[in-house]
A and B are shown apart, each in its own frame.
Chain A
Amino acid sequence: MQKRIIYFDNNATTAVDPEVFEAMKPFFSERYGNPSSIYSFGGSVAAEIKKARAQVAALLGADHQDEHGNFTEVIFTSCGTESDNAAIYSAVENCPRRKKVVMSKIEHPAVLNVGKDLERRGYKVAYAPVDGRGRIDLQRLEDLIDENTAIVSVMWANNETGNIYPVEEIAAMAHRYGALFHTDAVQAVGKIPINLKNSQIDMLSLSGHKLHAPKGIGVLYVRRGIRFRPFIVGGHQEKGRRGGTENTASIVALGKACELAGKNMSIENTQVKALRDRLEKGIIESIPSIKINADLDNRLPNTASVSFEFIEGEAILLRLDQFGICASSGSACTTGSLEPSHVLRAMGIPYTSAHGTIRFSLSRFNTGEEVDFVIKTLPPIIAELRSYSPYWQEK
């Protein structure tokens, strides 16, 4: 029998919602037509893609339609990483005079490593720092932006801490210098309300598998009127902005997932948040010498980043795994790199706690019973590992 799994790692990926799975199934077997084909066996699939595009647009509040009722601001891609790459490279290639890019230090590697690549190509890339709670000082960010800046990219919400950033303000700031603004909203979409209707945000990336759609599907939102240069050149798909035959099943799935995310949005901020708070409270009350890493007043409702001092994260995760509990860590040892995560380092979290940082991230599929099981299971694990640690002194 398979071990019971308690899945508290929803910022890594999520379960495909059963309704979403049902919606995508026919596009593997019965409705496999190419949406570009002239006959109705293909054309009817194109109609489903159009519907999915509308569903995504509705969740984002991206309400611009062309004369045929297509929500043209939504471009389907293969993943969040492709969307991030497409946005930033498009911006710099469309503004050849501007040789600078500004981003935060705590961006996802999908953005940070585009920065590194642009540096190699001769661009100047400025990285905005964060404080101990992971907040960006807007004044210091603005100091980095100038008339030479092609694009500013700051994530909507951080994957490790759950911190939410004031992207609207930052977008307005970028526009004051004539720069474009892109946000990696992979962790935000589906967890907090988003409305791009009267927004200054030029481009936004999202990823299907973070909101109960399958892996391998993403979206880049490009506000109408923004010049866009395709990242993948090919056929006329996505109005020539992203070549390649459409991933029809996954596009339909993402549409359905966005519809459900819209319906369930209130659950995120009530039920999921209550579970997260109950988990944090339980940990705080039962385990000494811990720290929550986040901007507590301004973070996703599902994420808890907890540092357990004087022990190491991989050891904690492998002990939790014995009980079927899935979480992740900002520690070095789990990834093979030797330093703690770039986010924790940017926040200046001391090494005494950075190495022992665990991220729990919940979803609407988690239950109170699961939370209670984790609260019951965790303290003896932490106590035992601390009893092995040369730094731990019983207080």
Chain B
Amino acid sequence: MWDYNNKVMDHFLHPRNVGEVENADAVGDVGNITCGDALKLTLKIGADGRIEEVKFKTFGCASAIASSSALTEIVKGMTLEEAGKVTNRDIVDVLGELPEEKLHCSVMGMEALQAAIANYKGEKSPFEGDADHEGRIVCKCFGVTDTKIRKVAKENNLHKTEEITNYCKAGGACGACLDSIQEILDGLWKEKGEAAPELEKSAFAGMSVVQRVIRVQEVIDKAIKPMLESDGGSIELVDIKDNVVIVRLKGRCAVCPSSHVTLKHTVEDQLREFISKEIVVESI
């Protein structure tokens, strides 16, 4: 059972502004019944350009209803410019918190609002099903595009595929697109220059020479040498060329008939585990 807080339960049990505004000036329609949730937001814009009236209709679980209700309270009285800046975070903040797996409900609220604003301006909804020019469909089950994945990732600082699923459902059904989502995330954070921690490991060749030497020496000293020394051997770092780490086995290791096993199974495995899977070890 979900652990919904009192605020969420209050908005679910007593939702504010349910219904449809008559002769609405703006309509935002997102989601569909197949996906399990949908939201129709209708707005009345006053003479002063502010949102005078706002109502919602939602098909979905308790958190979808609560998110929609909270959204209407947030935007009432705002100018469209102000409303355009509302994000799913603002909805979550009003509700206090939502279970991680339910964060997509707050994203749906933000999308409905943006769709309504686009509708008012006479633009095409950015979230319509055929919005192919807005990106390619990555998650076929829920019709989520790469554009949307990048957007939620950027706005909420998401690095993992599970987080993407929680926020926009992508990858939550058959899971066939999870690898593609990871690629999008890798690409996105690389572009932004803030490598995700996993990325750091795999970008060995991209490190500066000094960085590579320091990292490799550290692993050799702290992890590899003690193992070899316990068998009467030792090791020293000779050189690093691209992803090839060249070492010299010493002591008993140097004369041991299974030194190639030591090299691959001890030295290479350790360096790969701690630094990067790309590393290849050679000995002289």
User: A355 CA to B32 CA in the complex, in Å?
Assistant: 12
Q: Determine if A338 and B169 form an interchain contact, defined as CB atoms under 8 angstroms apart.
A: yes
Q: Digit string of A137-169 for contact with B (CB within 8 Å is 1, else 0)?
A: 000000000000000000000000000000000
Cross-chain contact of B57 among A313, A334, A388 (Cβ < 8 A) = A388
Q: Determine if A338 and B33 form an interchain contact, defined as CB atoms under 8 angstroms apart.
A: no
Q: Determine if A387 and B18 form an interchain contact, defined as CB atoms under 8 angstroms apart.
A: yes
User: A334 CA to B141 CA in the complex, in Å?
Assistant: 19
Q: Determine if B13 and A388 form an interchain contact, defined as CB atoms under 8 angstroms apart.
A: no
Q: Which residue of A lies closest to B13 (CB)?
A: A322
- Min CB gap A186→B, angstroms: 22
Please report whether the interface of chain B is mostly helix, strand, loop or mixed according to DSSP.
mixed
B77: CB under 8 A from chain A? no
- Residues of A within 8 Å of B1, CB to CB, are 334
User: A352 CA to B62 CA in the complex, in Å?
Assistant: 17
- Residues of B within 8 Å of A391, CB to CB, are 33, 38, 59
Within 8 A of A (CB), among B174-201: none
B233: CB under 8 A from chain A? no
Q: Determine if A388 and B15 form an interchain contact, defined as CB atoms under 8 angstroms apart.
A: yes
Q: Determine if B37 and A312 form an interchain contact, defined as CB atoms under 8 angstroms apart.
A: yes
Q: Which residue of B lies closest to A332 (CB)?
A: B36
Within 8 A of B (CB), among A380-395: 387-391
Q: Determine if B18 and A388 form an interchain contact, defined as CB atoms under 8 angstroms apart.
A: yes
- Min CB gap B121→A, angstroms: 22
- Residues of B within 8 Å of A331, CB to CB, are 36, 61
Known: A312-B36, A333-B61, A390-B59. A338 touches B173 (CB 8 A): yes
Q: Which residue of B lies closest to A387 (CB)?
A: B18
Among B35, B36, B64, residue most surrounded by chain A Cβ atoms (within 10 Å): B36
Known: A352-B33, A388-B15, A390-B38. A336 touches B101 (CB 8 A): yes
Q: Determine if B101 and A389 form an interchain contact, defined as CB atoms under 8 angstroms apart.
A: no
- Residues of B within 8 Å of A314, CB to CB, are 2, 61-62
User: A168 CA to B173 CA in the complex, in Å?
Assistant: 35
User: A355 CA to B34 CA in the complex, in Å?
Assistant: 9
A60: CB under 8 A from chain B? no
User: A310 CA to B37 CA in the complex, in Å?
Assistant: 10
Q: Which residue of A lies closest to B105 (CB)?
A: A333
User: A388 CA to B34 CA in the complex, in Å?
Assistant: 17
B84: CB under 8 A from chain A? no
Q: Which residue of A lies closest to B99 (CB)?
A: A336
User: What is the number of residues of chain A that contact chain B, defined by CB distance less than 8 Å?
Assistant: 26
Q: Digit string of A331-374 for contact with B (CB within 8 Å is 1, else 0)?
A: 11110111110000000000110010000000000000000000
Within 8 A of B (CB), among A296-327: 310-315, 318-319, 322
- Residues of B within 8 Å of A310, CB to CB, are 33, 59
User: A391 CA to B36 CA in the complex, in Å?
Assistant: 12
Q: Determine if B172 and A337 form an interchain contact, defined as CB atoms under 8 angstroms apart.
A: yes
Among B33, B38, B62, residue most surrounded by chain A Cβ atoms (within 10 Å): B33
User: A351 CA to B172 CA in the complex, in Å?
Assistant: 16
Q: Which residue of B lies closest to A333 (CB)?
A: B61
User: A334 CA to B142 CA in the complex, in Å?
Assistant: 18
Q: Determine if A315 and B60 form an interchain contact, defined as CB atoms under 8 angstroms apart.
A: yes
- Residues of A within 8 Å of B19, CB to CB, are 387
Within 8 A of A (CB), among B22-43: 29, 33-40
User: A340 CA to B36 CA in the complex, in Å?
Assistant: 9
- Min CB gap A120→B, angstroms: 15
Q: Which residue of A lies closest to B101 (CB)?
A: A336
B127: CB under 8 A from chain A? no
Cross-chain contact of A355 among B13, B36, B56, B169 (Cβ < 8 A) = B36
A to B CB contacts below 8 Å, 24 in the list: A312-B37, A312-B59, A314-B2, A314-B61, A315-B60, A315-B62, A318-B4, A318-B9, A322-B13, A333-B60, A334-B61, A338-B142, A338-B172, A339-B36, A351-B34, A355-B33, A355-B59, A387-B19, A388-B57, A389-B57, A389-B58, A390-B38, A390-B39, A390-B57
Which residues on B are within 8 Å of A, measured CB to CB?
1-2, 4, 9, 12-13, 15, 18-19, 29, 33-40, 56-62, 64-65, 101-102, 141-142, 165, 169, 172-173
In order of increasing CB-CB distance, the 4 nearest A-B pairs are: A333-B61, A338-B172, A314-B61, A390-B57
Q: A331-B36, A391-B59 are in contact. List 4 more A-B contacts (CB 8 A).
A: A312-B64, A315-B12, A338-B36, A389-B58
